[in-house]
Amino acid sequence: MKSPLRFTTWVIPLCYAVVAIVAGMVFPRLEAPMFHGLSSTVTVSAAMAIYSSVASGMLALTAVVFSLAFVMVQFSATAYSPRLVLWVSRDPFMWHAVGVFTATFLYAIAALAWVDRSSSGRVPLVSSWVVIGLLLASVAMFVGLIQRIGLLQINRMLNFTGDQGRAVIETVYPQLDLPATGTRSEEFHTLSLTQTVLHHSGPEVIQKLDIVALVDLARVNGGVIELLAAVGDTVVIFTPLLCVYGARQPIDEAALTNTIEMGEERTFEQDPKYAIRLLVDIAIKALSPAINDPTTAVQALNQIEDLLLRLGSRELEIGNFRDRDGQMRLIVPYPAWEDFLLLAFDEIASYGAQSVQVMRRMKALVNDLTSRLPDNRHAALHYWEKRLQSTIARSFEDMEEKQEASVEDRQGLGVPRRNSARVQG
């Protein structure tokens, strides 16, 4: 099922424009009989000058502000990640600001037509206050928009991405001390395969699964559904989406595909790996020779460490879902602890192999995870501890540089833990 249209792109300002046009045509006509005798003390010439200035100034302001905003978005796309800036550009506040600016321009034009109507020499009082109110709202939206553009600063961008990851971890994964849905089971493969559902359109990304609906479909038909594609996967034509085992009859294919929401790009909603993916993108772009900014990579690692600490303290083996009678009905692929670590460390360690700052921060990160997480997370962390040490041994020829890179330091080059340096090779 395709995800619904994102109304933050064009529908919001369109609604503002339509309302402003309708109000500009209807409200002055109602004002004359309802508020007969009420008129502004502003002269006709002054009112026409004010309305004209508001209309022309608002049009120019809209063009200038959003030209600057889109330039900054494009600049940030090259500096961070085009996938991340897409979320910033879709901020509803930005499109509400466009709507308010447009509404102010259109209503000022409409109100101008009612000044000195039929040579009455009157300036409608209520309409003039509406214009002033819209002007003040536009100023407020302008200030808010400037604050939103500040989100493109590196620290705020990293915090934004980390917050999205923290929210999805809180939603998707239960605490370790809570009952989980169980580890992946292959018992259902003893059942006969009754149905396979394929993807029949162009490339799309799986954004969200309706777990409850899938379990209900499996229960009603007495079968087990196995998802073959995970949230975040891109599926192309004829890609297998799911298999049904042991069902009494084939399940309606439309009902099955409607439980899988797809779209043009990945989303944060049910995809905890996406936030880490974006943070890694920012880090490795900062480590590219064209930018050469290891400090930004260290800041990205700070957010990655927080996400890994939260993931490591959660139950990650949640792929089996049962109905209310305790019967297994749905198997969904979810990333394991080792998958998260590979995503978080592999590319940063590769691109930052010759950066003393990055290596020291990663050493401290792995050590902190090991000291704070349960024992069942330690094996994979010990693997990465050894791999980082081998990367250091391979990347630095001078023994003194190896020793410096082997020191744990949460700032990269800040306050080192001197007793942690261990050089191998």
**How much is the pLDDT for 229?**
94
The token pair that represents 390 in the structure block: 């081998």
User: Where does 276-384 show beta strands of DSSP type E?
Assistant: 320-322, 328-331
The model's pLDDT over 208-221, given as tens digits with 9 standing for 90+, comes to: 999 999 999 999 99
**How much is the pLDDT for 419?**
54
Cα–Cα distance, 133 to 127 (Å, whole number): 10
**How much is the pLDDT for 6?**
47
* Residue type, position 62, single letter: T
User: Which residues share a beta bridge with 197?
Assistant: 242
Cα–Cα distance, 123 to 43 (Å, whole number): 7
Between 235 and 154, name the one with better pLDDT.
235
pLDDT of residue 316 exceeding 60, the answer is yes
Q: C-alpha dihedral over 33, 38, 41, 44, to 10 degrees?
A: 10
Q: Strands 224-227 and 240-245: what pairing?
A: antiparallel
Instruction: Find the range with the poorest average confidence among 142-146, 257-261, 281-285.
Output: 142-146
**How much is the pLDDT for 31?**
72
How many percent of the chain have pLDDT more than 90? 53
* Confidence band for 335, pLDDT divided at 50, 70 and 90: very high
Structural contact between residues 360 and 412, judged by C-beta atoms closer than 8 angstroms:
yes
DSSP states of 101-117: HHHHHHHHHHHHTTTTG
Which residue from 142, 67, 144 is spatially nearest to 104, judged by alpha carbons?
Answer: 142
The token pair that represents 86 in the structure block: 């897409």
H or E segment and range at residue 63: helix 44-79
Cα–Cα distance, 392 to 401 (Å, whole number): 9
How many percent of the chain have pLDDT more than 70? 87
**With respect to CATH, is domain 187-263 assigned 1.10.10.10?**
no
Q: Strands 234-235 and 204-209: what pairing?
A: antiparallel
Query: Alpha-carbon Rg of the chain, whole angstroms?
Result: 29
The token pair that represents 65 in the structure block: 């502000």
The model's pLDDT over 61-105, given as tens digits with 9 standing for 90+, comes to: 888 777 777 776 776 667 677 777 666 667 788 888 888 999 999
Cα–Cα distance, 416 to 7 (Å, whole number): 49
Q: In angstroms, what CA-CA distances link 167 with 82, 111, 141, 336?
A: 22, 46, 27, 19
DSSP code at position 414: S
The token pair that represents 321 in the structure block: 């879902």
pLDDT of residue 423 exceeding 50, the answer is no
* Confidence band for 7, pLDDT divided at 50, 70 and 90: very low
Q: In the predicted model, what is the mean pLDDT of residues 170-181?
A: 71
pLDDT of residue 202 exceeding 80, the answer is yes
Q: In the predicted model, what is the mean pLDDT of residues 26-55?
A: 78
Which residue from 327, 95, 86 is spatially nearest to 219, judged by alpha carbons?
Answer: 327
Sheet arrangement for strand 224-227: 193-198, 240-245, 224-227, 328-331, 320-322
Max mean pLDDT among 143-157, 228-242, 404-418 falls in 228-242
Give this prediction's pTM.
0.81
Looking at every residue in the chain, the average pLDDT score rounds to 86
pLDDT of residue 251 exceeding 70, the answer is yes
The model's pLDDT over 345-374, given as tens digits with 9 standing for 90+, comes to: 999 999 999 999 999 999 999 999 999 999
